[in-house]
Structures are given as structure tokens and as C-alpha cells.
Structure 1
Amino acid sequence: MEFTKENMRFYIFMRGKLGESAKLILETLQTVCGDCACCYQSVCSWVKEFNEGKESLSDCPRPGRPKSCVNDRAIASIKKDIDEDHHISVRELSDTIGLSYGTVHTIITEHLRMKKVMKLGVLPHPAYSPDLAPCDFWLFPTLKDRLAGRKFDRIQDLAKAVNSELRAIPEEDVFRKCRSG
């Protein structure tokens, strides 16, 4: 059985009502819970509160900033904003949602597992296309430029023109462009 904070507080409550010292209660908690036991100051504080009449095992809410603003609502809001505008910046998101830049960045990178490379979103897999080799980024535009303005009535004519234009490109150019990326 795992000891929760409430379990430990109940144990502190019962042992404190029996008149045991905070030090003895802590030693017993450390024997049972090991490293998961609360600290001496917490035991003293709870013994004092229970002796003053507190009966609730829950901790009172404290003023100030919460420990973490990362919650399901914040994650969903950021995901929705990114889906609506893929070019939105982390700064714009933080201003819109009211969270710090670091918190928004953490949600994007760790919770949503998104990243940007050279200001372009990186998809986990190609959208609807096969993987393209670097030389394809040079070869296709070159071929398009060479065939620009020509009309083909049949698919066979287009295939012949593409083949002849591809053969007309010097082999050294293809390898040089592919190597240079």
C-alpha cells in the first residue's frame, strides 16, 4: 500500500492525539515510508495544527502562484491555437493565453511533441507524399523549366519529352547538385 499525504496526515493526527512527539512520529513514518516520508517541519506543523483543533486532513489552499500552470486545459488551448494558425509564435501564444514564454514552450515541445526547424514545422511523417531525396528539389524544378510552355496531346508524348530532357542534363550536374543538397 502506498502512503499518500492524507494517509501520513491521518497517522500524524492519530499519534499526535495519543501524545507522541513529532520526532517519534517522524521516525515511525520514515521506518514505514522510507524516503517518501514527509519532513520533520511538516510533522511538527501538522501536530501543532491538530492540537489546535484542526480536524481536516486536507491542506488549505495557499495564496500565490500555483506550482505549475501546465494542465489539460492549457495544453488543449495551445493545440487549438496552433491548429488554427501554424505560423503563430510562442510569444504570441504566451500573450494570448496568459502563461509565461517558458511554460508555453514546454507545453509545445514536451506535451505536444512539436518542434520547428528553420521556422518550418516538422511533421512526424510526410503528409501525403513519399520521402523525397535532396536531388528531387533541384531536378523537378529544372525539368519543369525545360518543359515550360510546351503542350502534349498524349501521355506518351509527355513521357518521351521528359525522358529526352532528363537525358540531356549532364550527369555531373545531377551528382553535383545532389551532393550539395
Structure 2
Amino acid sequence: MSQFEQRVNIRFMCKLGKSASETLAALQQVYSANALKKTAVYDWFSQFKNGQETLENNPRSGRPPTSRNEEMIKQVRRLVRADRKITIAELEQEVGISRGSIHAILTENLEMRRVCAKFVLRLLTTDQMEFRMFVAGDLFQKSSQDSTFLEKIVTGDESWVYAYDPETKMRSSKWHTKSSPEPKKSRYVRSKTKVMLISFFNIDGLVHHEFVQSGQSVIGVFYVQVLQRLRDAIQRKRPDKWQGQWFLHHDNTPSHTSFVVQQCLADKNIPVITQPPYSPDIAPCDFWLFPTLQMGLRGTRFSTVEDIQSSGTPELWEIPQEAFRRCFQQWQNRWSTCVCVCV
């Protein structure tokens, strides 16, 4: 905008009969460091003096594009569609244009970018994806129609807590000056000492948690005992949920779907929210609670299982209530996203 204004002023000074040097001095006085250079001022002054009225630059013919024409773009598109893994170097040999032109065609004309495949634990079958979409859609519809639906859910799962879990690369980063030596650390793996944590929570916070004793396997009979302790905790800590109906959410591991567990849930009249198979991204314990706990314990060494338990319990109880509410809101958003992606 400043350049356009200065061109207007140059034309104005020319019509007043001023000289090019006077025009340059006036522009430098008004615009100081942002004033046009002497060559530009004299050039525009000469054009206006010769009768030019427009303030725009004269069109230039330029060099005609030879490497990014329609034919070349179609050829690159055809080669990429035939082999999605083809490299720019291979395209350069195929079409005979420069590397920079190929990169411009891919990124600007074809709007492509090279991405790596995302690692997932399991690729779902068509039936599993349809069931996942159905469950997510049903839960999202219920949560939209009933504003108290999320408040009625108690979700839980099991996870290992290790005596030593290496800290992440981001957490090990430190502020250094240019003269500081480059930080180094050796490669560590998780320790063999570990303990199983079972945790249940709802939108208001943690409801019940316990550590499984060494040598005890989480099988159906044991999980029934855990559910009984969960019911006692709900009656004691969430009396409003105990008086009304509440829903249990857990995954599809054999210990959760065994006959004794299903019979116990039916006898106690506890409805269960369906969890799609191989979908940890829509299980709150997997995508939020356990990562939050593990992040707080990473990088710390515990010598015994008792030390793990004494440190893990406060870490759980220190999670604020607002974080649990945000987790359930994220859970609802993930249902919606799941439906939108699968449609």
C-alpha cells in the first residue's frame, strides 16, 4: 500500500511541475526509510512525464512455462497413481524435468504430500468397522438425547504399572546454551518388576482402584470379586448413582466377558455399555487415564511393588475433577468423529 501511495504522490508532484529530485526529497521526508529508491522514483517520474496515467506495473511477457504445463501435470499424476511410493528422483528420470518443478507440481498443482503409514495394533475387518460405527453412533445419540447419560457411566480397565518406565524424549529435554555439552542418555527398557492396576472412574472422579497381588491372575472369578468391591465403593462414594441406574463400561477381554461375570452382572442388574473390539481410542482408560498415570511415573525408579503402589495411588487421586469431565467430553467427541470417519 505504501508503494501505491508513493506512486500517486509522484504523479501529483509531476503534474505540479516539480522535478524528479524534488519529488525524491519529499518522499524521503515523508516516508523516511520506507521511501522508494532513487531509481524507482526517477523511473516512475519519467513515465508520468511521458503521459502515463496508470499506477500499475506494465505487464511483462516473461518466460513461458515449459515444465509445469497441463500435459506434464497429467503425466506426473498418472505416474503417482500407478505407484504411490514413487520418489521424486524416479519421477525426474521418467518425465525429464527438474526436481524443483516436480516438487512444485506435486505440492501445488496436485496438492499432495508424502506421508508414512500409521502403526496400529490391528487392522479391523469390514464387519468390525461397521460394528464400531454402530456402537459409536448409538452412544453418541444417547448422550445427545439424554444430558445425564455420561454422568451415569462408570468405566474401568486394567493396566501394568512398571517399577521403571523410561521417560519420553520430550520429558528428558532440557534448556541448554550454545556452549553447553550435548546431553546424552543410554537406552533403557521397562523393568521386569510390575504390578497390575485395576481402576474405575466416572465423570466426577476416581471411584475405585486396586492393585492385584503378585501371583493372582485376573480371571472371571477374581473379576467378580472386583465388581463387588466396585459396587460397595459406588454405594459409599456415589450414593446418588446407587439410588438410580448406572452403567458399567469395560473392554472385551475374556475376564470381562466370561460366563461368571455375565451372570453376576445380570443378577445385580448392572447394564453394560458395549465396547467395540480393538478400539482403545474410544476407551477412556486407554486413551486418557493410564497414559496420564504413566506419564507422571515415567523416569522414576521403584525398588519394590509396594513402592509402586504407594506412589501410584497419590498420582491417581491428584488428578483434578475437571480433568475427568474433559475426558468424558473427549469420549463423546470421539464417538462423533468415529461415525463421521466411517460414513
Shorter-chain TM-score category? Answer: 0.3 to 0.5
Higher helix share: 1
Q: Which structure ranks higher in relative contact order (CA pairs < 8 Å, sequence separation ≥ 6)?
A: 2
More strand by share: 2
- Give me the TM-score of the superposition, normalised by structure 1: 0.44
